[in-house]
Structure 1
Amino acid sequence: MKKIVLARVAGAALALAVLSGQARADIKDYEFQIIDTELKQGDAVLAVRLVDKRNGKPVPDAVVFATRIDMAPDGMEGMTSKIEPAPAAEPGTYRFNVKLTMAGNWRLSLAAKVQGETGTVENRLTFKAVK
C-alpha cells in the first residue's frame, strides 16, 4: 500500500514539475552558433548566438567565462590573439572584439553557464579571416 502511495506522489510531483516549466534541460541541449563565418583581417567584431536546440530560441543572460581564439584549424594552435567582450546587440547574442592578426582559419573556444542549469556549455567554432 505504501509503495502505491509513494509511486502516485512521485508521479504527481514529476507531472507538476513538467507542467510548471521547472523540468531542467540537459546542458547538451544548448549550443553556440557563429553568426558570420567570414570576417576581415584586423580589428573585428565576432558575434555568436546561444540557442536552445530543442526549440531554436536564443538563450539570454548566459555567463560566458572562458574565451579563446587561435589558428588551430590551420595547424597553428599556438597562434592566439586578443579577444574581449563587447556589448550585445540583442538577447541571446554574444559579441567579442577580436584582433585577427593574419588571414586564415580561426577557432573560437567558448564556455558558459546558462541561468538555471547545471553544467557548462562548451563549443569550438571555426571562422575565416580574409584580407
Structure 2
Amino acid sequence: MSETSACPCAAGAAFGDCCRPLHQQQRRATTAEELMRSRYAAYVVRDDDHVFRTWHPRTRPADVSTSPVLRWEGLEVVRTEAGGADDDAGLVEFRARWSTPSETGVLQEVSRFERRAGRWFYVDGDEVT
C-alpha cells in the first residue's frame, strides 16, 4: 500500500499520515479508537508485528498471523465508550467486512482496550451476532 493511498482504517487520511506511522512505531495511538483503527489497517496490510505489539500480553495468543486468504474490505466504527487521551480503558464497537475466495461476511465486535505505561493495548473482544 502506498503512502498516499487512502488509509484502510477509514479515518479519511492517507495511509502514510494515518496508520503507517503507528505500524512503524514512529508514534503511539492516543486513543483506543485510533489503536483499533491501526490494528484493522494492520490486518489489511498483513502487518503481524503491529498486531502482536498492540495485543495485551496477558491475553495475546502465541500466534497472531494473518490469514493469507482473508481480505478485509471495509471498516465502520459503531460506537466508542471512554478510551480517550485521559482514560485508562475503553470500548470500541466496529463492523469489518471481509471476504475469502468462497464467502463474504461481516465481523461485528465490541473490543476492550487498556492503557499501560502510556500505551494503548487491545485486551479482548466480544463478537456481536
Larger radius of gyration: 1
Greater RCO structure (CA 8 Å; 6+ sep): 1
What TM-score range do you get, normalising by the shorter chain?
A: under 0.3
TM-score (norm 2): 0.26
TM-score (norm 1): 0.26
